[in-house]
Amino acid sequence: MNVLMIHGIGQEKFTQEELINTWVSSLHGVAPGLFKGVTVKMAYYGTTLADWTTGQAKLAVGMGGDDTAIDVADTEEMKFLSSALEEALVQSGGGEAEIDAAFEEADDITVPMDTFLLRRLVGLFRALEKISPAKGSILLRVVKQGHTYLYAPGAQAAVDAIVRPYLQERPQIIITHSLGTVIAFRLLREMAEVRGAEIPLFITMGSPLGLDAFKKRLGPPRRKPAFVKRWANFYDPSDLVTLGKDLDEDTFAPEIENDGTVDNQTSNAHGIIGYLPHKGDGLSL
């Protein structure tokens, strides 16, 4: 049996081998010997995407403890980030009043506030961070690297070139997390016309596929590839990256099995080591 793992954002500080060991150890904690006799691979793109996300000249916008480089001249990037943050803020119970209040408290911001989009982005993030600091920070990093992958042709091509060969080996089980779920979905959709392709089980965890900003950019078709026999999606309702959304027919696509009973014990409810130990049917190998 062949298992392919595809990680999410912020993994550039780890090696491919370290990530495999972390994922496998987490799973063995609840299912000892799960991968006995199994070939396990990790499609590692962490440093490649990080380089594309931070390698160009950007204006650093100070937004709490985790500064993220934002290209204020890129209107599409600003709109993408704002859309995702606004959706997250509303889902968390916030609104325009919280954004306005954040503007009033932004006296210490040192970046030029010369555009409405930039002012709104800063206000959205500060309002969201005030409601949930850790979750606000992790969401911004997700949507930032997500934007780089979806909008920068060079970045997308570079990441796809790394991940695609692993999928072409036709693993029997694919386990993905965070942005890795987006990359896997795009490439599986691309493989839809490949004759003889068959994936018995595709697992997504902490997926942002249900966010409007991602769905708009991905475009149609949004459906489970016919050669994927089973798609199991896991999410913690408190994971701000998923906005507590499943990936059902109304949110994303039909024929996806959803498990929203995950109790992710990591500080931001999004960490992979909080997802892997969940004893859901979709993780039965």
Residue-wise pLDDT for 189-234, tens only, equals 999 777 778 899 999 999 999 999 999 999 999 999 999 999 999 9
- Per cent of the chain over pLDDT 70 is 84
Residue 85 scores a pLDDT above 50: yes
Residue 56 scores a pLDDT above 60: no
Residue-wise pLDDT for 98-124, tens only, equals 777 766 665 444 455 456 777 777 777
* pLDDT for the residue 110: 44
Q: Which domains does the chain have, with CATH numbers?
A: 2-51+153-283 (3.40.50), 58-151 (no CATH)
Q: What global pTM score does this model have?
A: 0.84
The set of residues, in sequence order, having a beta carbon less than 8 Å from that of 264 and lying 6+ positions away, is 206, 236, 238, 239, 270, 271, 274, 275, 278
What is the rounded distance in angstroms from the CA atom of residue 126 to the CA atom of residue 106?
9
Residue 44 scores a pLDDT above 60: yes
What is the rounded distance in angstroms from the CA atom of residue 241 to the CA atom of residue 236?
10
DSSP secondary structure, 105-123, as one string: T-TT--S---SHHHHHHHH
Nearest to 121 by CA among 167, 77, 66: 77
Nearest to 147 by CA among 188, 208, 59: 208
What phi, psi does 173 have (nearest 5°)? -135, 135
Strands 39-43 and 59-61: unpaired
Average pLDDT of 248-277? Answer: 93
Nearest to 204 by CA among 284, 134, 276: 276
Average pLDDT of 226-255? Answer: 93
